[in-house]
Amino acid sequence: MGRPRLIILIRHAQSEGNKNREIHQTIPDHRVKLTPDGWEQAREAGRRLRALLRPDDTLQFYTSPYRRTRETTDGILETLTSDDPEPSPFKRSNMKVYEEPRLREQDFGNFQPCSAEMERMWQERADYGHFFYRIPNGESAADAYDRVSGFNESLWRQFGEDDFASVCVLVTHGLMSRVFLMKWYHFSVEYFEDLRNVNHCEFLIMKKQEDSGKYDLQNNLRTWSELRRERAAIKAKEDKELVDSGKEKEPNKLERQNSTPVPPRKWGGCPQGCDHGKNFKIRRDLAELLQHDEHAAKHNFTHVVPEVNGTIASRRAPLKRTQGPNNSDDDSDDPRGRVAPHIDVTRAQEEVVSSPDGTPSFITIDDRLRNALKTPQKSTFLHIGRDFGGTYSGHASEEEVSDNDARERLAAKAARVKSGERNGTTPNGRELSANRHAHANRLGDAPSNSDQGSDGGDEAEDLDKAEQEDRSIRGSVY
């Protein structure tokens, strides 16, 4: 079947927590059950779903593991599969029902505090923003968005199965329904916070378009801004009627409350007064340094002459100090404490450019030759590889050379091999053997003559020659 033709989101029916919020102080949120009115709402939702479906539709349910959503699903299935008043084409044995923890309600903490504290929390959330405000010991709507995103991806992968149902029903919660739509249709945070809650057992229907395969939302979502506009229009109409009738308008209770100035609420900081500075005092020398820095920054000083009590930056030694390598107070590598080197740009332009990327170099060819002669020879007990490690790592790989150098080396190697094969010996007079080209598995701390065969000397000499070439002008990149 592939993708379903309908995706239906259903908010749970009325629960005991919807009638009495104080119940969350003693009963965990996931154990709150439906009220008798809620059970009737769930059964009525099953009848409406039955009228919405086709006789050949197949159904697959995903429900939140909370008790109120599982009971809502049971009420829907009760009337959906009932043979009253007429036989139902939908059998319970043909439906798949899965509990999906990612569809659970936003976590509001564990046992909730008193009603006054919860009311203060709701006001704080309204001022902070519904999407990013995190409930103490709980979640924010952004946290719920993250797990709904994972569920959407899992659901989309299941749509690729051939035997997936034609109608997918998600029984979840009010906020999770809005978060699901936000993820699916890429709502902005501002639009999400403007959305009003979904009614109990209200259907949010997403219908697949045959031509594009996309899902169109069939509902008009209610928003707070729209409600404010409606109330403003009604109020303007009433005021106009009062003016036309010549009667004076009496301020209602809400207007009388709004006439008194209300001080702005302060949620962050220390609302009861800050006393954190009683037991903390900044060091005097640090306070003076900070004052110096603030004064310099205020007057846009690019450089402050170091004084006895100079700034923090001026107290750094301009030259590298000799301290232990493990000294945690060593800041000699701080670039702000170094003297900038003087660069002779004129000389750099006159010198021969020797690096591949065109960087000028102060090292002349004569300096390179002198340094190559002064380079210490490799220790007998240390074999430096291509990666300059203590082993032969990389010694069998080809170095990066130009095409001309590669052809010259191959020609020289072919000449040596040819002369050796003609005489039946190697160029050094040794006889050829079957294992001539085998590589020894040597470590860097092994002597060259300790466990090597008859060809160990040639390989070491070749390596010495390669290293000398690498250190020469031809092998250098600087």
Residues labelled catalytic? 12, 71
> Facing residues of 63 across strands?
99, 171
Cα angle 289, 291, 294; round to 5 = 110
* Half-sphere exposure for 464 (CA within 13 Å, toward CB): 14
Q: Which H helix or E strand runs over 422?
A: helix 403-423
* 216 within 8 A of 205, measured Cβ to Cβ: no
The torsion angles phi and psi of 382, rounded to 5 degrees, stand at: -135, 120
Alpha carbon of 354 to those of 133, 399, 449, 474, 475: distances in Å?
60, 19, 39, 10, 11
Strands 203-208 and 96-99: unpaired
How many residues belong to the chain? 478
d(CA 20, CA 118): 13
The DSSP-derived string for 95-128 is -EEEE-GGGSPPP--SS---HHHHHHHHHHHHHH
> Facing residues of 203 across strands?
10
Alpha carbon of 375 to those of 147, 370, 384, 478: distances in Å?
62, 9, 14, 16
Is 225 strand, coil or helix? helix
Cβ atoms < 10 Å from Cβ of 180: 24
d(CA 201, CA 13): 5
* 476 within 8 A of 371, measured Cβ to Cβ: no
Is 18 strand, coil or helix? helix
